[in-house]
Amino acid sequence: DTAVSQTPKYLVTQMGNDKSIKCEQNLGHDTMYWYKQDSKKFLKIMFSYNNKELIINETVPNRFSPKSPDKAHLNLHINSLELGDSAVYFCASSHQTGKVFSTEAFFGQGTRLTVV
């Protein structure tokens, strides 16, 4: 069983379009993340949700809007796509509530977004 799953795996779209990437985790985790990995392989956090509430919102254009309908899902919607949005987007999850120490983050397989 896949622990953190993202769909789609590949997404090719034209500039100006609106697209969504879905993420689901079946680990019972309470914290979910979106990371962007650019062509230089830098992993940058975009958003962090804990129990469906937005905790971290790094400097990300407001064209990017995360939606968390429940603790197991964190979807990423992107409006008016630009060429610079091309990257691999990773969803991840971890469990924080009641933990003394942080725990590892489990990553989805990534979504390669190409804007043409």
Partner 1 sequence: GENVEQHPSTLSVQEGDSAVIKCTYSDSASNYFPWYKQELGKRPQLIIDIRSNVGEKKDQRIAVTLNKTAKHFSLHITETQPEDSAVYFCAASEDNYGQNFVFGPGTRLSVLP
Tell me which residues touch partner 1 (CB under 8 A). Answer: 31, 33, 35, 40-45, 48-50, 53, 55-56, 90, 92, 94, 96, 99-110
DSSP assignment of 78-114 equals E-S--GGG-EEEEEEEE--TT-SS--PPEE---EEEE
Which residue number, 14 or 59, has a Cβ lying nearer to partner 1? 59
The DSSP call for residue 60 is -
Q: How far apart are CA 34 and CA 67, in angstroms?
A: 11
Smallest gap from residue 103 Cβ to partner 1 (A): 8
Which residue number, 47 or 85, has a Cβ lying nearer to partner 1? 47
Q: Judge contact between 33 and 92, C-beta under 8 A.
A: yes
Which residue number, 17 or 103, has a Cβ lying nearer to partner 1? 103
Smallest gap from residue 43 Cβ to partner 1 (A): 4
Which residue number, 78 or 91, has a Cβ lying nearer to partner 1? 91
CA angle 35, 18, 62 (to 5 degrees): 55
Smallest gap from residue 109 Cβ to partner 1 (A): 5
- The first and second tokens of residue 21, run together, are 């990437």
Smallest gap from residue 80 Cβ to partner 1 (A): 27
